[in-house]
Amino acid sequence: MRPFQYTRAPSLTEASNLTAGEDALAIAGGTNLLDLMKLQVETPGQLADINRLGFADIEATDDGGLRLGALATNTDTAVHPRVRSDYPVLSRAILAGATQQLRNKATNGGNLCQRTRCFYFTNIDQPCNKREPGSGCGAIDGIAKLHAILGTSNQCIATYPGDMAVALSALGAAVEISGEKGERSVPVRDFHLLPGDTPWIENVLEAGEIITGIVLPAPVGGTQIYRKVRERSSYAFALVSVAAIIELADGKFSRADLAFGGLAHKPWFDPRIGECLLGQPPSAALFEKAADILLEDARGYGENDFKIPLTRRTLHAVLAQVTGDAA
Amino acid sequence: MTVHFKQDEPDNSNRLDRMKQGVLGKPLPRIEGLAKVTGTAPYAAEYPIENCTEGVLVTATITRGEVTSIDHESVLTMPGVIAVVDNEKLCTRAAQGTANEAPMQGPKQVCYWGQPIALVVAETFEQARDAAKHLKVDYREEEGAPIDPGAVEPEEQEDETVHQGDLAHAMADAAHSVDVTYTTRGHASAAMEPHAAIAQWDGDKLTVYAALQMLNYNITELADALDMEEENIRLISRFVGGGFGSKLGISEEVVAAALAAKQIGRPVRVVQSRQQVFQTVMRRSETTQRLRLAADENGKLTGFGHEALVSNLPGEDFAEPVLQSSHFLYDGENRELMLKVARIHRMTAGSVRAPGEAVGMPALEGAMDVLAEKAGLDPVELRLRNIPEKDPEEDLPFSSHKLAECLKQGAEAFGWDKGPRKPRQRREGEWWIGTGMASAARVHNIAEAKARVTLKADGTALVETDMTDIGTGTYTILAQIVGEMLGLDPERVLVELGDTRHPRGPGSGGSWGAASIGSAVYVACKAIREELAAKTGTSEEELELREGEAGTGEALTDLLEGEDLAREGHYEPGDIEDDYTASGFGAFFAEVRVNHYTGETRVDRMLGAFGFGRVLNAKTARSQCIGGITWSIGVALTEALEFDPRDGHLVNCDLAEYHVPVHRDVPDLEVVLVEERDGAASPIQAKGIGELGMCGGAAAIANAIYNACGARIYDYPMTPDRVLEAMPE
Ligand SMILES: Cc1cc2nc3c(=O)[nH]c(=O)nc-3n(C[C@H](O)[C@H](O)[C@H](O)COP(=O)(O)OP(=O)(O)OC[C@H]3O[C@@H](n4cnc5c(N)ncnc54)[C@H](O)[C@@H]3O)c2cc1C
Ligand code: SF4
């Protein structure tokens, strides 16, 4: 850990001012940031503690949706009665992540911004374009079992590791952001970015911008599933995960909102999958077609080749589970 | 007064069963349990030492080569930094278990990525850690260091080689034969307590608080490393937060702390980070194992072949002893066994819980399952048919042999279905369900040990030895042995361990701790009993002691007449070791679920039945077995060290990314302790138990995966990607 300046931000404006600088970062629960600081992967000169800023509430919005404060903990969010009854996919996704102890401390805002678990990113004596632009990508010819198969670049093949955001993506939630230039709202589906030539830029947040909340649309109903595939049954990041909100009417798909984790630098949402399923009766052939579309541009890097068939099978399992069609 | 006993003959007199206190074997809770869970049991790094400074190891970022310069000035101006230690005596590897000499020293020569090369000392831990990351080091790298064990010509370990009869012939003539190759990946001990030491000098006297398993060897190793007399060193390891082999020998931080404390004239604490423990201490070698089994039409083995390739750094004597139990577990007159070591530049390979059988048995027992299927035999029956009468290679009798009982009692308790076995017979929703079994075997080790027992004038007793308790229950079983022998409630027995001021014990390792130190305590107690018998006018044989009284009615306190009665027991394994093959045996049974879509495997039920001689404490014994079975689950399903294919560094070096089983992976485990007394194994008729519980269990899971979904996998761990690849459509 490098010595750093710690300031408890007294107001949102002050938090923005503090984090506007080059080497400044906000700290919420600290469950990700502190680990990375100890490893000197993150070396902020200035830490702005945003924990006293107050946006920890979970409250109804005017249009029947729900606003989750950025500082609400993962635990408080997952067990909230309205989240459990109206957005079960979100509750399940959060509870599938990390451990109870971590979730008690982790905040919703921090969860969205958590950084990749790529082994080369977290080891400062190894090359990594994300940590040190231009140093190369250690993972591409290295150990890449957990890495991405969609939306990669020749600069970086890391995944966004989180679970909560996958469910938020399926739900069509939006991120509320406040900064020096005012407030804005960005759909979760557009919040995270692909690595391209700038893998160190992971989301749309600009210097000095703070996430204040996450807004869920009015409840959509349907059957909501979060399926996380992993080697051990808890305390492991997803090899592949699927968040699904599905409804059938007259034996045909009337809702099919799906998002995927563990596949890319962001929660993966491909509108063509819903389009492919909507209005069709469930069948094995249809599920295969959806998987074909999803994996059209998938590319493995050796060690993670298995993710391609695994994703196909997991998608199949989720759709079969909802439709009762084990085909 | 020291009483020496060397065991040359088996002792089947069952003396301990005829003692009157009735406390040995009882499931007493661990004496130190409360102190541990309330945080009052000090671990190595927790001793409050005045004026203590903090050291952090600096590790190499090349695979092989030379450190050409270390720029001390680059950190000496940083806040709080006191010194950089790059003394020639710094150790670059941990000592192998029982090495009894210093490990590799000389930090200039780099042999693996992550090797310690210096220590930075500062006033605070944070300052030292920051400075360690800033220390400027120049290297001359030697390119092309081999790191892939498959890419070099391996060396044969000739003392492991067996050529007996003609295996090729037996294979050709066999009614049923199996020729398969298994692989296992590297494992880490992953003990909770990181490696840590505090060193403090008083003139030329050194005291080190350290996290170590075998102080009797460690003191010699440290004296050798520092080039000083053992008499001037005191090592203290009263509580150790797990070792699993990783703390058998002294590791880098112990020597570094001692050197640094000398250099700066103040105490120094060095705690390895979690990543450093993973990357610098010990790995279990990966293995490639070819198994050849030839059987006649009744499933009787006629040929047995087991060849293994393991790896280690140049200059290391240790080679994962994969074949250890293969030498005697099953019949087969035509035998071919061979162990080879590839010299590569990954971190040191050494002992990780149950070295050898932990990976040898899962491969052998997987192959046995394949054979059972080919021979159309129930896998339990196949094993029963192949239990040898005597050691098939050494022509020695077994000291005692409970494999058959374990197989039968285990099958009974598990509800093993002896009916015909076919894969893919049971499906519930997405999950295939199946069962599997495997034998367990782990050679019995025993070592010389000394302990002093003092029966105090006030009717309490004191045990002193430098033996360690690494969380296994040593404190408790020693109190029980003394209680049983001297007729005392174990609460009246104070046990002091982990201090080299006490008589030298055997250390904890190779599962030999309890039987070895227990025998030394037994020998001491016997001598005390002889004194007491003389005082009461009976023989030691006839002396009955219970609740502080002799059978004749006198209270111990009266017999002692105000004097303490102390004896040092010195137990030495005798010629008996050459007369018998001694081993613990057992059987595992597992029921698993395999997800048809995702290839995820979850263990629903698992049972182990074990025979390891006398049970000294049914609770701590069971705990050891449960821990072992839990490790089996890790070996079977999740644990694998990943090494970078270019520079050989260990990549997944923390507990988030090296996947030991979590609670949810471990179902309610059942343990059957099979009654046994092994008079040739040790005077107290006990054998090793700490490792047996993981020697073969992974195969029960692997075989259950096959039975469930038809995926026959030859590579451990059986992660979802491998299950899916092998699953029939
Ligand atoms: C061992 C382990 C296992 C885990 N397993 C999982 C898992 O399986 N699934 C999963 O989803 N997650 C997992 N996590 C990650 C965990 O969910 C995150 O660490 C946590 O959500 C981060 O929240 P935090 O409040 O602690 O963030 P912090 O650590 O405080 O911050 C993380 C980052 O977010 C930024 N930040 C925080 N709040 C804001 C804000 N309001 N506005 C702008 N920027 C902000 C910080 O500057 C920092 O860069 C795991 C973590 C650990 C340590
Ligand atoms: S995959 Fe991305 S994060 Fe990992 S080493 Fe390459 S550039 Fe760095």
Using pLDDT thresholds of 50, 70 and 90, give the confidence band for residue A325.
low
Other beta carbons less than 10 A from residue B539's beta carbon: 11
Convert the pLDDT of each residue in A261-317 to its tens digit: 999 999 999 999 999 999 999 999 999 999 999 999 999 999 999 999 999 999 999
Average pLDDT, integer, range B404-415: 98
CA-closest residue to ligand 2 atom 6: A137
CATH code of the domain covering residue A29: 3.30.43.10
Question: How many domains, in total, are found in chain A?
Answer: 2
Average pLDDT, integer, range A138-158: 97
Q: Looking at the predicted structure, is the pLDDT value of residue B687 above 60?
A: yes
pLDDT given for residue A213 in this prediction: 98
CA of A30 to the centre of ligand 1 (A): 7
Contacts with B56 from chain A: Cβ below 8 Å: none
A325 touches chain B (CB under 8 A): no
Average pLDDT, integer, range B498-506: 98
CATH 3.30.365.10 placement within chain B: 2-41+446-572, 383-443+582-726
Q: For residue A259, what are the domain limits?
A: 223-323
Does residue A310 lie in a domain region? yes
Please tell me if the CB atom of residue A158 comes closer than 6 angstroms to any atom of ligand 2. yes
Third-level CATH fold of B2-41+446-572: Aldehyde Oxidoreductase; domain 4 (3.30.365)
Is the distance from CB of A74 to CB of A103 less than 8 angstroms? yes
Angstrom distance (rounded) from CA B340 to CA B157 = 6
Among B434, B701, B454, CA closest to B565: B454
Does residue A191 lie in a domain region? no
Q: Please state the atom number of ligand 2 nearest to the C-alpha of residue A195.
A: 2
Average pLDDT, integer, range B647-670: 97
Q: Looking at the predicted structure, is the pLDDT value of residue A174 above 60?
A: yes
DSSP per-residue string spanning A232-300: SSSS---SEEEEEEEEEETTEEEEEEEEEESSSSS-EE-HHHHHHHTTS---HHHHHHHHHHHHTT---
Convert the pLDDT of each residue in B543-564 to its tens digit: 999 999 999 899 999 999 999 9
Mutate to test the interface with B, among A137, A233, A315 (most CBs of B within 10 A): A233
Convert the pLDDT of each residue in B226-277 to its tens digit: 999 999 999 999 999 999 999 999 999 999 999 999 999 999 999 999 999 9
Nearest to A317 among B598, B637, B719 (CB): B598
Convert the pLDDT of each residue in B295-313 to its tens digit: 999 999 999 999 999 999 9
Mutate to test the interface with A, among B78, B130, B139, B598 (most CBs of A within 10 A): B598
CATH code of the domain covering residue A319: 3.30.390.50
Token code pair at residue B370: 């394949």
Residue B333 to residues B327, B386, B395, B441, B510: CA-CA distances in angstroms?
11, 11, 11, 20, 29
Q: Given strand A252-261, what is the order of strands in its sheet?
A: A223-229, A240-249, A252-261, A268-269
Among B242, B261, B249, CA closest to B198: B261
Q: Which CATH number fits domain B383-443+582-726: 3.40.50.2300, 3.30.365.10, 3.50.50.60, 3.30.1330.60?
A: 3.30.365.10
CA of A325 to the centre of ligand 1 (A): 37
Share of chain B above pLDDT 70, in %: 100
Does residue A144 lie in a domain region? no
Contacts with B129 from chain A: Cβ below 8 Å: 1, 38
Average pLDDT, integer, range B184-195: 97
CA of A162 to the centre of ligand 1 (A): 9
pLDDT given for residue B527 in this prediction: 98
Q: Which ligand is the nearest neighbour of the Cα of A12?
A: 1
Token code pair at residue B250: 């002294």
Q: pLDDT averaged over chain B?
A: 97
Q: Please state the atom number of ligand 2 nearest to the C-alpha of residue A138.
A: 5
pLDDT given for residue A327 in this prediction: 45
Convert the pLDDT of each residue in A194-235 to its tens digit: 999 999 999 999 999 999 999 999 999 999 999 999 999 999
Average pLDDT, integer, range B106-113: 97
Nearest to A234 among B598, B646, B662 (CB): B662
Indicate whether this complex's ipTM tops 0.90. Answer: yes
Q: Looking at the predicted structure, is the pLDDT value of residue A22 above 90?
A: no
Angstrom distance (rounded) from CA A289 to CA A283 = 10
Contacts with B600 from chain A: Cβ below 8 Å: 229-231, 233
Q: How many residues are listed for chain A in this entry?
A: 327
Convert the pLDDT of each residue in B330-387 to its tens digit: 999 999 999 999 999 999 999 999 999 999 999 999 999 999 999 999 999 999 999 9
Residue with tokens 């391996």: B154
Is the distance from CB of A130 to CB of A158 less than 8 angstroms? yes
Token code pair at residue B477: 């079983």
CA of A206 to the centre of ligand 2 (A): 22
pLDDT given for residue A323 in this prediction: 87
pLDDT given for residue B479 in this prediction: 98
Convert the pLDDT of each residue in B564-601 to its tens digit: 999 999 999 999 989 999 999 999 999 999 999 999 99
Does residue A103 lie in a domain region? no
Average pLDDT, integer, range B706-711: 98
